[in-house]
Amino acid sequence: MGSVDVIGELARLVAEDAVSEGALAAMTQIDAAKLHSTLAERRPPPGTMVAAGREAFAPGDSMRVSILAGLLTEGTTVGDDERLTSILESLTGEMCLTPENIARLTGLDPADVERGLADPRSLALEAKYALALRTSFLVNAINLVRAVPRSS
């Protein structure tokens, strides 16, 4: 697979009204005027892919923009069951929570958490919905805490 013009892809999403420049500025914490001028240079016709281009932002900003572009373009192709399993795997693998921990923190049945890890299709729709919503909240809570700079 060739390289992707991250800024061009974000400009395409804006042109297609999938996301606004204001939302991108809020998500990436990049100055709205800088983001606008960069996107305006690279806005492709709607529905077209764009080729790789020059680096538009500082390295930290570029990393945030690249991650966001990947998640907003390719990440949307992941199925809901696979996404739920990935959420649970990140909580158990990366965050070192057991299925029992997750169940206690979310108020859910531990067996539903286990089924979500093994085969989310085996869950009743109501249980799957609760598991997805509550674990998404848990991931967000963890990410908020991790974003706070550590003191030395």
CATH number of the domain encompassing residue 123: 1.10.260
Is residue 56 located within the same domain as residue 106? Answer: no
In the chain, the N- to C-terminal Cα span, in Å, equals 42
Q: Which of 26-30, 38-42, 63-67, 116-120 has the least mean pLDDT?
A: 38-42
Give the whole-angstrom CA distance, residue 109 versus residue 51.
Answer: 48
Give the whole-angstrom CA distance, residue 62 versus residue 78.
Answer: 24
Q: What is the tens place of the pLDDT at every residue in 59-104? A: 778 888 888 888 888 878 889 999 999 999 999 999 999 999 999 9
Is residue 52 located within the same domain as residue 115? Answer: no
Give the global pTM: 0.73
Q: Would you say residue 1 lies in a domain?
A: no
Give the whole-angstrom CA distance, residue 98 versus residue 82.
Answer: 19
Tally of domains within the chain = 2
Which domain, by its residues, includes 97? 80-147
Q: What is the DSSP letter of 92?
A: I
Is residue 13 located within the same domain as residue 62? Answer: yes
Q: Are 19 and 13 in contact (CB under 8 A)?
A: yes
Q: Would you say residue 122 lies in a domain?
A: yes
